[in-house]
Structure 1
Amino acid sequence: MFKAIYLTRRNPALSQDEFWERWKQHSALTGTTRRIRPYYNQVVQCGLSDAFDAAEGTDAYDGANLLGLVDRSGGYGVFDEPEHRDIMLPDEIAIFAQPIRDCTLVTEEHVVRPGGFSRHLVLHFLKRAETVTEQQLFDQWLALQDELHNRPAGADLVRRSVINKVVETPPAGYPFDLVTETWFADAEAMRRYLGDASTQDAFGKRRAELCDDGRTISFVARVNHSRPPIED
């Protein structure tokens, strides 16, 4: 499955609560379109989690969206639709700090651990180190994610694990190679996983070896809105 993933900031004129509500309305607006709606088969809008800790991720962004694509070409092709220009773009400018086209990554999903969706997840936007190739990063991070999420701490706490490989040239300012998803049943499971010293030490060591740490971002998230709906 291909996905369009964007990491964004809210329009500074909106409060956090106003942003979340307007973002849900934006998704509903997509549903009223004839040409835009068929591009997507999944929406997962993620806001910054209440469980966020500055030691575990960034608060420089307000939201991330995981959009399932019917077709890879639609990841950026959707922005050429007249309905996007006339309907969606004006609404984007009212909600976000920049047009969505300017912060969208087109990716291919690789499921490391199958499992159901939940309200709580951690996203890692990874930029490879100059000494590491795209394939090396993918292969070694796949092995790392599989190993960490099958340790006792991970096996008990991680519900779903995914690696999304960026497959189209990303926009300026978003130079990522991979986006990973680690899903948890609840906020407490996420806190326990992030607080497990052995797991985080192993993660940090490999991240330092494989990634450009200054351009790699962790986002601790809570799902604000999804389609299909997530069962609580």
Structure 2
Amino acid sequence: MAEEMLKEENQPTVWKMIYLARRNPALAAADFPQAWREHSALGRQCKNVGQRVKAVAQCSRQLQVDASALSTDYDGVNLMVLADREAGSAIWDDPETLAIMRPDEPRVFADYVRNFSVLCRQQVLYERMPADVSAALLPQNEQVMLIGFLQRSDEWQGAVTSPVLCPPHWRIGGVNQASRIVCNTLDEKAPAGYGYRYIVEWWFDTVEQALSAAQSLNASAAAQDDEFGWGEHVFMLAEVTHARP
């Protein structure tokens, strides 16, 4: 087992494209994960997608859980590990992607994917996991996660430094049961409405642990306004419903 606080200088740079998705309102919430998987399958027809995207995890909102801190305004979070930073911009202009995947987006989502996607640097802050799981770039199928989009702002002031160590209130209460904590720091100006400074993943062994964490989230003024506070935020309890490789 690996159990340790991790520092950024000990980690390779991992670039991720992350999006916070709303489904097409014509889709029932329960039907969204399947429609999303079908959309992802189109990527197999795009050679450049395979070269630029190393791993994908589709995290669908858990529909059977409820906590005051959890948002129901969104339906899923996509985590996508890129081959390099440049892939984060090149993928939007790829002819195959524009011809094959983009026309399918309105069937699945409430908007085009580019309009709610952000480019981030990943930092693993903490992990307590078997070595084979720890080595995975992204969570695998059925992994349960609490995902927080923190400190939304419409003003882009440049990329900020990731936390050196896991901020204390990111591990207070139920979130302390997380087996892995990952911080994704925004690295370029986001589409309007999606300028979240940090996107944090808390991985849990069970839905019950994740729900307990959501129910115990610190909602005090200090937790909102601290350097690594929630700020204007979205929390989602999700499960990975599709992953590759």
Assess same fold via TM > 0.5: yes
Equivalent residue number for residue 219 of structure 1: 236
1:1-232 alignment to 2 at 5 Å? 1-114=14-127, 115=129, 116=133, 117=139, 119-127=143-151, 135=160, 138-139=162-163, 142-144=166-168, 148=171, 154-155=175-176, 157-196=177-216, 200-201=217-218, 205-210=222-227, 211=229, 213=231, 215-228=232-245
Structure showing the higher helix proportion among its residues: 1
The number of residues matched between the two structures is 218
User: Aligned letter for 1:127?
Assistant: Q
| CA drift at 1:143 | 2.3
Give 1:162 deviation, angstroms: 0.4
Deviates more, 1:115-124 or 1:217-226: 115-124
Q: Tell me, in whole angstroms, the C-alpha distance in 1 between the residues paired with 2:93 and 2:169.
A: 36
The one-letter amino acid paired with 2:187 is V
Inter-partner Cα distance in structure 2 for 1:135 and 1:79: 24
What is the rounded CA distance, in whole Å, between the counterparts of 2:215 and 2:164 in structure 1?
23
* Paired letter, 2:242: H
Aligned partner of residue 36 in structure 1, secondary structure: helix
TM-superposed CA distance for 1:140, in Å, is 8.1
Is contact 1:45-1:63 (8 Å) kept?
yes
1:201 is paired with a residue of what secondary structure?
A: coil
Q: Secondary structure at the match of 1:10?
A: coil
Task: String of CA shifts for 1:144-202, please: whole Å, max 9, x gaps.
Answer: 366x16x7x555x2111000011111111111111000010110111233344xxx337
For 2:52 and 2:147, the matched residues in 1 are separated by 23
Q: Is the 1:111–1:163 contact (alpha carbons within 8 Å) kept by the matching residues of 2?
A: yes
CA drift of 1:33 comes to 1.5
The alignment yields a C-alpha RMSD, in angstroms, of 2.7
Quote how far apart the aligned CAs of 1:128 are: 6.1
Q: 1:158 to 1:90 in 2, by over 3 A?
A: same
The normalised TM-score by structure 2 is 0.79
- Structure 1 residues 217 and 160, CA gap change in structure 2 (3 angstroms): same
Residues 123, 180 of structure 1: 8 Å contact kept: yes
From the superposition, tell whether residues 195 and 140 of structure 1 become closer, same or farther in structure 2 (CA, over 3 Å).
farther
Q: 1:218 to 1:195 in 2, by over 3 A?
A: closer
Superposed displacement of residue 32, structure 1: 2.1
> Is the contact between residue 51 and residue 187 of structure 1 (CA under 8 Å) also seen in structure 2?
no
Name stretches of at least 5 consecutive residues in structure 1 with no aligned partner.
Answer: none
Partner SS state of residue 35, structure 2: helix
1:10, CA displacement in angstroms? 0.7
